[in-house]
Amino acid sequence: MKKLILVLTSLLITLCISSQGNKNLAEMLGYPGDSKLLIIHADDMGLSHSVNMACIRAFENNVITSGSIMVPCPWASEIIEYAKNHSGMDVGIHLTLTAEWDLYKWDGITASDQIPSLLDKNNYFYPSVEELGKAAKSIEAEKELRAQIDKAIASGVQPTHDCSSCD
């Protein structure tokens, strides 16, 4: 529930900042102003092949309407390839600096010697926000987050949003 509230809050803030004139969300999406909309968002795309396949199927069957890619994850290139070949998808970037799985890890896009405060003793992202918070240097975090955005764009993804507050 907390995740859903954060996603919706992030979306609303983004929409408020970028709103076009006096149009509400429904109008900006091409619907009549009094329409009721349900946006179903797929989080953590790129995490694994199975997550990607489920998201692709959900997009193709109109079950979900948006998703966000975790660019540092091992299967990000697969979903990036799909997204760049399916223009018009509502796909954003899930900025991430943690790898919470016990036996499934990833590190950053940036070279490890440039972001040492973001990495644990095994050179992976920390497993929790608390551990990250104790060690992270803001300049290194900013460098890594910018690298994630730049990599997605350089790979051909045209992000429609960021999901930095999805977790």
| Tens digit of each residue's pLDDT (9 = 90 or more) over 46-71 | 999 999 999 999 999 999 989 999 99
CA dihedral angle for residue 152, residue 154, residue 156, residue 161, rounded to 10 degrees: 40
Q: What's the helix, strand, coil split of the chain in %, to 5? A: 45, 10, 45
- In words, the CATH class of domain 38-154 is alpha beta
* pLDDT of the residue at 164: 55
Q: List, by residue range, all CATH 3.20.20.370 domains of the chain.
A: 38-154
Q: Looking at the whole model, is its pTM more than 0.75?
A: yes
Q: Which amino acid is at 158?
A: Q
